[in-house]
């Protein structure tokens, strides 16, 4: 059996690695090849191109990369048409993968798209593109298959990997001991995992933390540094805000940092759901480049009342959101302080997030592998 994979960014690498391990458990001799990150390579994928090649963000920012990405997509299509896999799986990166899937499907190759594009959030017309590109869509949110069924697209909810990987018990004391933090309370600061994010959001997070410390001097902060190259930027922002002495920096280990915290203050993104899976009350903020914001919001391409996944998956929004012009340090700090001062509210949020974890934890790797192999057998 041969399976082609293309993953974009770190999150796709994690999904791809889990899928590869589940596939190899059932077919140890399978040939697995394509665009892969380090985890996928470690799991046994023959890497033709690193996944980071697809890691471009925003609406306007990726334009400069289009010629290179089109060349890569043509080359991948050529190679797989010449030597077809039993199934091709495009993992996330819809702007790249859906076009590739369409080419391969026209050539008679069975195709899977793993992680539905956010058609419920913006550009709902993409469902037509998905229908032309993918034989099967693997969804990680429970409400997504019904959206595809209306358009005659085969879609399967496989569970969310963040939920399946979340610990059954969250040991705050052990996490603080591992980080040598004796202070109480603790707030985790997650300003993002990319330089562009940190440039836009990190200063806001640091300034909000300064406001929190001014109001509650006993608070200690912990910040995971997603990559070594980001450390100097984060240190400079914390120093400018005057709180460097109140922050424990840790290389990576975002889960450990969030586990140690009473409240998490973070850049909006997939990490907000990860915080929820750790049963942590969180406050989210974000800013994008002005032109991306103008296209997405002012031109009506994004139609959401809430932006973070936990708020889309619970009956009532539990994560305060401060987006774009609302991303003001004083308001963000007040939201964090309100949570620090209200242990009953924090407990309520933690219990609801624990129920959400149970709803999403279906062992996504095994379910995804089963769906891929079922398609291969048809």
Give yes or no for a contact between 276 and 356, defined as CB atoms under 8 angstroms apart: yes
Can you give the pLDDT at residue 22?
97
- Residue 165 domain flag: no
Task: Indicate whether 280 and 186 sit together in one domain.
Answer: yes
Separation CA 357–CA 162 (nearest Å): 8
SS3 content of the chain, % helix, strand, coil (to 5): 55, 15, 30
What's the whole-number mean pLDDT along residues 223-238?
94
| pLDDT tens figures, 274-285 | 999 999 999 999
- Residue 189 domain flag: yes
The residue that leads in pLDDT, 324 or 141, is 141
What's the whole-number mean pLDDT along residues 117-121?
78
Assess whether pLDDT exceeds 80 at residue 343.
Answer: yes
Task: Indicate whether 337 and 222 sit together in one domain.
Answer: yes
- Residue 341 domain flag: yes
Task: Indicate whether 79 and 95 sit together in one domain.
Answer: yes
Torsion 93-98-101-107 (CA) sign:
negative
Assess whether pLDDT exceeds 50 at residue 314.
Answer: yes
Residue 184, phi then psi, degrees to nearest 5 = -155, 130
- pLDDT band for 64, please (50, 70, 90 cuts): low
Q: What pTM was computed for the model?
A: 0.80
- Residue 167 domain flag: no
What's the whole-number mean pLDDT along residues 124-145?
93
By mean pLDDT, which of 59-63, 103-107, 183-187, 242-246 is the weakest? 59-63
What's the whole-number mean pLDDT along residues 349-353?
97
Structure tokens given for 242: 């005057």
For the chain, the average pLDDT equals: 91
Tell me the percentage of the chain whose pLDDT exceeds 90: 77
Assess whether pLDDT exceeds 80 at residue 271.
Answer: yes
Give me Rg for the CA atoms of the chain.
21
Task: Indicate whether 152 and 186 sit together in one domain.
Answer: no
Residue 244, phi then psi, degrees to nearest 5 = -55, -35
What's the whole-number mean pLDDT along residues 64-82?
91
- pLDDT band for 55, please (50, 70, 90 cuts): low
What's the whole-number mean pLDDT along residues 299-314?
73
Assess whether pLDDT exceeds 90 at residue 308.
Answer: no
> Which of 178, 184, 192 lies closest to 250, judged by CA?
178
Can you give the pLDDT at residue 101?
98
Task: Indicate whether 335 and 368 sit together in one domain.
Answer: no
Task: Indicate whether 321 and 369 sit together in one domain.
Answer: no
Assess whether pLDDT exceeds 80 at residue 65.
Answer: no
- Residue 117 domain flag: yes
Give yes or no for a contact between 291 and 60, defined as CB atoms under 8 angstroms apart: yes
Assess whether pLDDT exceeds 80 at residue 58.
Answer: no
Separation CA 165–CA 163 (nearest Å): 5
| pLDDT tens figures, 191-230 | 998 888 899 999 999 999 999 999 999 999 999 998 899 9
Can you give the pLDDT at residue 330?
98
CATH of the domain at 118: 3.40.50.2000
Assess whether pLDDT exceeds 90 at residue 369.
Answer: yes
Task: Indicate whether 210 and 316 sit together in one domain.
Answer: yes
Task: Indicate whether 146 and 198 sit together in one domain.
Answer: no
- Residue 195 domain flag: yes
The domain of 11 spans 2-159+362-377
Task: Indicate whether 70 and 96 sit together in one domain.
Answer: yes
Can you give the pLDDT at residue 288?
65
Separation CA 254–CA 235 (nearest Å): 17
- Residue 166 domain flag: no
Neighbours of 91 (CB within 10 A): 30
The residue that leads in pLDDT, 121 or 344, is 344
Task: Indicate whether 146 and 191 sit together in one domain.
Answer: no
The residue that leads in pLDDT, 61 or 88, is 88
- Residue 164 domain flag: no
- pLDDT band for 295, please (50, 70, 90 cuts): very low
Task: Indicate whether 233 and 370 sit together in one domain.
Answer: no
Task: Indicate whether 248 and 298 sit together in one domain.
Answer: yes
* Domain total of the chain: 2
């Amino acid at each position: 059996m041969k399976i082609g994979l293309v993953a974009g960014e770190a999150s796709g690498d994690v999904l791809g690695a889990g899928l590869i391990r589940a596939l190899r458990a059932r077919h140890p001799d399978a040939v697995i090849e394509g665009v892969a990150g380090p985890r996928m390579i470690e799991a046994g994928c023959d890497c033709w191109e690193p996944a980071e090649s697809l890691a471009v963000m925003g609406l306007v920012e990726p334009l400069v990369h289009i010629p290179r990405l089109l060349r890569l997509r043509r080359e991948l299509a050529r190679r797989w048409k010449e030597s077809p896999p039993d199934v091709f799986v495009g993992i996330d990166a819809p702007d790249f993968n859906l076009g590739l899937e369409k080419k391969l499907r026209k050539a008679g190759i069975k195709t899977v798209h793993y992680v539905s594009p956010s058609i419920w959030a913006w550009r709902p017309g993409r469902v037509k593109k998905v229908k032309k590109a993918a034989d099967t869509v693997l969804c990680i949110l429970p409400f997504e298959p019904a959206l595809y069924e209306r358009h005659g697209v085969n879609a399967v909810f496989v569970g969310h990997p963040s939920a399946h990987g979340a610990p059954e018990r969250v040991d705050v004391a052990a996490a603080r001991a591992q980080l040598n933090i004796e202070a109480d309370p603790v707030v985790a600061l997650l300003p993002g995992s990319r330089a562009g994010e940190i440039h836009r959001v990190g200063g806001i997070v640091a300034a909000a933390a300064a406001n929190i410390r001014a109001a509650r001097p006993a608070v200690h902060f912990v910040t995971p540094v997603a990559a070594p190259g980001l450390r100097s930027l984060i240190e400079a922002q914390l120093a400018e805000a005057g709180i460097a002495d109140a922050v424990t920096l840790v290389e990576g280990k975002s889960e450990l940092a969030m586990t140690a915290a009473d409240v998490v203050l973070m850049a909006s993104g997939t990490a907000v759901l990860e915080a929820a899976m750790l049963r942590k009350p969180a406050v989210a903020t974000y800013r994008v480049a002005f032109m991306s914001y103008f296209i997405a919001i002012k031109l009506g391409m994004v139609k959401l009342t809430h932006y973070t996944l936990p708020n889309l998956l619970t009956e009532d929004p539990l994560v305060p959101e401060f987006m774009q012009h609302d991303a003001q340090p004083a308001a963000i700090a007040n939201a964090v302080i309100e949570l620090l001062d209200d242990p009953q509210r924090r407990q309520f949020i933690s219990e609801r997030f624990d129920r959400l974890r149970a709803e999403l934890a279906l062992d996504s790797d095994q379910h995804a592998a089963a769906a891929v192999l079922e398609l291969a057998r048809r």
